[in-house]
Amino acid sequence: MKIAVERREAAAASADVVASGLFEAGGKDERPPASLAKDDKGSGGMIAPAWKRKEVRGERREVTVFHRPDGRGRWVTVGLGPRDRFSAETVRRAAAEVVRAVKGKGARTLAFRLSSFVSGSVVSAAAARALVDGAVLGAYEFVRYRGTVERGIEEVTIQLGEEHGAEERTLAAEVAEQVRIAENVLWTRDIANLPADTATPERLAEVARELGKEAGLKVTVFDEKELARMGCGGILAVGGGSDHPPRLVVLEYPGGTRRGRTVAVVGKGITFDSGGISIKPALKMSEMKFDKSGAVAVLGILRAAALLKVAPRVIGVLCCAENLPGGGAYRPGDLVKTYSGKTIEVLNTDAEGRVVLADGLAYAVAQYHPDEVIDLATLTGAQVTALGDDTGGLVSTDERLAAGLLLASAATGEPLWRMPLTDYHRELVKSEVGDVRNSLEIPLAGMLTAAAFLETFVGSTPWAHLDIAGPAYTTITTRKYQPAYQNWGATGFGVRLVSRYLQDVGRA
Ligand code: BES
Ligand code: MN
Ligand code: ZN
């Protein structure tokens, strides 16, 4: 999608659709908001009468299409809700609602009236960036396997008008950067949406190699023979039941400054999770093609690091395997020796994410001595039960890292909620016959015992765990509760958040 800023007033823009945001009237106040006068004039006197007859009220998710009497195209108002609850996230959603409302309806170009989306702490730059996010992410659909594709908005302009005309240069730079950030999420979604027959562990490794060439990253792929030599018994055990052999993939971004921090980002890359011998029920098993979302997010994060030239050195580690119940599958009762030398008592082969991450986390720490480790994983159903499918679970042993991630979360609108990790959870994952067990076989704090398990393989390095089982993807049924910029399928959750964190590390 092409996106630019333009000095002109929105009413003078040559676009198929002009869009402006509209706040709800406060309290008993039935008077139209002050900004409405400008929209009314621009639209040719269409909007004030519509406000009066309560056709438009400025409520959230309210999109109203007006046809300008002078024949200059459509004017669309989008509700922003009450002004005192307005944030950049409101703008992100509103922009996506506009783009989706006019999809397949003959509109190719769209102009946003910037000042109608600026209020309080949402200054012009924040509003412009949120419009970019909403338009780019909201226009996305995974169409690779579909015969018919509806065309939608292909070009967006952000009209500065008299209010923001003087900021043209800075806003143009902000918008250009945000377009790259948002389009990087689409790149990530396109891979995470691939079905498991295509996105095998080998294929993910190839994608990493291609990315390495394109973005100038060093990429190393370990196949099953090398994994055996290295002692990565966790990844090998999980991948053993599939004809598609497992892979450990490492990407290195050298960092923008000499002697900067090193951040390792580790992802769960289960290309399909059938549960293995502890097989899952048939209903919704198809969703488990998204069980690679953590690893694919790591690809997106490394791509963003290179695109944005972030300051820290970033190491990406993808733990890729397919969890199937074939003849070589690992079983409940097995004791698996991992890269670190620690052993895992397998009680449930469906708790496979932590088993592959055991190797990936220990490898990242031992080989790169990172200053901090962040992992992303669609790890537990318990995360979805606890926080739903919009908010990721954050577990961290480091206050500074946790605070940094929560700041980045607030800035990007990818919600995180911090959860505790205590000796209680550490006690629960201890094994009688091995060092740790991969399942409790009783439903107790599933997200947190999974985190306690992972911590065993990180040691004392500052670490944050993002359980993204819920927010990594939406389904036909959950889609309607999600913001309009999350279409059906993979969301790319975590990519904007962690990329933003990496940008902030350099600024701090
Ligand atoms: N991939 C699943 C977790 C998951 C569930 C992701 C729902 C997305 C949506 C994971 O491998 C899993 O099966 N976890 C088990 C662990 C249990 C057996 C200890 C779970 O959460 O039930
Ligand atoms: Mn599983
Ligand atoms: Zn899984």
Q: Each residue of 33-91: pLDDT tens digit?
A: 778 999 999 999 999 999 999 999 999 999 999 999 999 999 999 999 999 999 999 99
Q: Which residues contact 461 (CB under 8 A, 6 or more apart)?
A: 365, 370, 371, 372, 373
Please report which residue ranges of 139-167 form alpha helices under DSSP H.
161-164
Q: Each residue of 163-191: pLDDT tens digit?
A: 999 999 999 999 999 999 999 999 999 99
**What is the Cα–Cα distance from 25 to 44, expressed in whole angstroms?**
22
**What is the Cα–Cα distance from 98 to 156, expressed in whole angstroms?**
12
HSE-up (13 A, CA, CB side) for residue 348: 17
Q: Are strands 155-159 and 2-6 parallel, antiparallel or unpaired?
A: parallel
Tell me how far the alpha carbon of residue 44 lies from the centroid of ligand 2, in angstroms. 57
Please state whether the predicted TM-score (pTM) of the whole model is above 0.85.
Answer: yes
Q: Each residue of 141-166: pLDDT tens digit?
A: 999 999 999 999 999 999 999 999 99
Taking the alpha carbons at both ends of the chain, their separation in whole angstroms is 32
Tell me how far the alpha carbon of residue 380 lies from the centroid of ligand 1, in angstroms. 4
Structure-token match 């790169």, residue found: 368
**Strand, coil or helix: 280:** coil
Instruction: Indicate whether 138 pLDDT > 80.
Output: yes
Report the pLDDT value the prediction gives residue 384, as an integer from 0 to 100. Answer: 97
Banded pLDDT at 28 (limits 50, 70, 90):
low
Taking the CA of residue 382 as reference, the ligand 1 atom at the shortest distance is 21
Whose CA is closest to atom 3 on ligand 1? 380
Work out the number of other CB atoms within 10 angstroms of the CB of residue 116.
Answer: 27
Query: Could you give all domains of the chain from N- to C-terminal order, each with its CATH number?
Result: 2-165 (3.40.220.10), 188-507 (3.40.630.10)
Q: Which residues contact 508 (CB under 8 A, 6 or more apart)?
A: 404
Q: Which residues contact 133 (CB under 8 A, 6 or more apart)?
A: 92, 95, 178, 181, 182, 413, 485, 496
Q: Is 342 exposed, middle or buried (0-12, 13-18, 19+ CB in 10 A)?
A: middle
Report the pLDDT value the prediction gives residue 210, as an integer from 0 to 100. Answer: 98
Q: Each residue of 81-95: pLDDT tens digit?
A: 999 999 999 999 999
Banded pLDDT at 480 (limits 50, 70, 90):
confident
Indicate which residue of 354, 437, 496, 500 is catalytic: 354
Q: Each residue of 264-288: pLDDT tens digit?
A: 999 999 999 999 999 999 999 999 9
**Strand, coil or helix: 87:** coil
Q: What is the mean pLDDT of residues 343-349?
A: 99
Instruction: Indicate whether 260 pLDDT > 90.
Output: no
**What is the Cα–Cα distance from 143 to 193, expressed in whole angstroms?**
10
Whose CA is closest to atom 6 on ligand 1? 469
Is 280 a residue of the active site? yes
Question: What percent of the chain is modeled with pLDDT above 70?
Answer: 99
Instruction: Indicate whether 508 pLDDT > 70.
Output: no
State CA 369 to chain mean position distance. Answer: 26
Is 100 a residue of the active site? no
Contact residues of ligand 1, CB 6 A cut-off = 273, 291, 348, 350-353, 378-382, 384, 439, 446, 469
**What is the Cα–Cα distance from 319 to 428, expressed in whole angstroms?**
25
Instruction: Indicate whether 197 pLDDT > 90.
Output: yes
Which two three-digit tokens encode residue 259?
A: 């002697």
Which two three-digit tokens encode residue 217?
A: 């990253």
Q: What is the mean pLDDT of residues 488-502?
A: 98
